[in-house]
Amino acid sequence: MHGGGENTGDSIAGASNHFKDGIIDLLAGTAGGIANVYAGQPLDTVKVKVQTFPHLYSNWVVCLKDTYKLDGIRGLYAGTLPALAANVAENAVLFTAYGYCQKTIATLNGLEDVKHMTPLENAFSGSLAAVFAATVLCPTELVKCKLQAAREMKQKCTPFSVCRDILKTTGPRGFFVGMTPTLAREVPGYFFFFGAYETCRYLLTEEGQKKEEIGLVKTAMAGSVGGMALWTSIYPADVVKSRMQVTGGGSFMSTLMAVVKENGIRGLYKGLLPTNLRTCFASGCLFVAYEETRKFFHYVF
């Protein structure tokens, strides 16, 4: 009886620790999402415009100059509110799911602690977590893309008016236009994102040091590499998603073929340079905010 009571107590304590870790990952992911948006929003606006209107902008520098000239700083931060909602929701769900997916894969592989997982195992955890993140990202990113492309579409709109129009014309299903390319982007993308990040942390860890102790600069460097690995690997799917969400329809394959027909294979990589410049800074900020917030709350609790 005594042994059974101890086992029950251990089970309750284990469940409590899992719940606490989940809450901390949620808060850390939220902090990372906020840092990611404010660090990278101007170049994200440029990315969406270049992807959607390649006939208007010969390159990303022209787009950046024209947007600033015509719309000012506010134009470069168009869609910040839904972008904030998208990134906070996505990263909160992503990092919470990532933590639980790490625990699941560690258990399946007979590991006692997620700290002993290899970069490849972490990459698979990230890929699995991306499925959950995509369900909250697709609707909010749809609104963001429509706001960012409003001037080129000759529309005046707010986040509220965009949501109202989507509901009026296509109903709740309209918020999930672009879900297929979102999944095609997120699932392999986060494999490379977390895989590259954890590989860099592993390589940057000195002998006798834990990867959690590498410091802010090295964490930012690893995050930057992870971000660039993500976007370089899945950029064509993101081009298709942006087109579908701004124009309001079309299938994944029909939109993909339309882009290739109009601009060739290069059209699928239009805007990759500003995207990698943006993610180099934004993903570094994201992981620094995430890791430091996690450390803080684990210390407090």
Q: What integer pLDDT is reported at residue 196 of this predicted model? A: 97
Whether the CB-CB separation of 127 and 190 falls below 8 Å is answered with yes
Whether the CB-CB separation of 142 and 175 falls below 8 Å is answered with yes
Please report which confidence band the pLDDT of residue 252 belongs to, taking 50, 70 and 90 as the band edges: confident
Q: What integer pLDDT is reported at residue 13 of this predicted model? A: 56
Residue 293 has pLDDT above 90, yes or no: yes
Residues 6+ apart with CB under 8 A from 47: 60, 242, 271, 274, 275, 278
Please report which confidence band the pLDDT of residue 294 belongs to, taking 50, 70 and 90 as the band edges: very high
Tell me the residue length of the chain. Answer: 301
Cα–Cα distance measured from residue 186 to residue 228, given in angstroms and rounded to the nearest whole number: 14
Burial (CB < 10 A; 0-12, 13-18, 19+), residue 154, is exposed
Q: What integer pLDDT is reported at residue 44 of this predicted model? A: 84
Whether the CB-CB separation of 196 and 226 falls below 8 Å is answered with yes
Whether the CB-CB separation of 284 and 223 falls below 8 Å is answered with yes
Mean pLDDT, the chain, integer = 87
Q: What is the mean pLDDT of residues 179-194?
A: 91
Whether the CB-CB separation of 145 and 245 falls below 8 Å is answered with yes
Q: What integer pLDDT is reported at residue 285 of this predicted model? A: 94
Residue 2 has pLDDT above 80, yes or no: no
Burial (CB < 10 A; 0-12, 13-18, 19+), residue 88, is buried
Residue 47 has pLDDT above 60, yes or no: yes
Please report which confidence band the pLDDT of residue 1 belongs to, taking 50, 70 and 90 as the band edges: very low
Share of the chain above pLDDT 70, in %: 95
Residue 243 has pLDDT above 80, yes or no: yes
Phi-psi region of 57 (alpha: psi -120 to 50; beta: other; left: phi over 0): beta
User: Which amino acid is residue 210, in one-letter code?
Assistant: K
Q: What integer pLDDT is reported at residue 10 of this predicted model? A: 54
Q: What integer pLDDT is reported at residue 38 of this predicted model? A: 86
The candidate with the shortest Cα–Cα distance to 146, out of 181, 177, 171, 173, is: 177
Q: What is the mean pLDDT of residues 9-31?
A: 78
Pick the range with the lowest mean pLDDT from 122-131, 260-269, 284-293: 260-269
Per-residue pLDDT of 74-84, as tens digits, reads 888 887 787 78
Please report which confidence band the pLDDT of residue 31 belongs to, taking 50, 70 and 90 as the band edges: very high
DSSP conformation class of 112? S
Please report which confidence band the pLDDT of residue 167 belongs to, taking 50, 70 and 90 as the band edges: very high
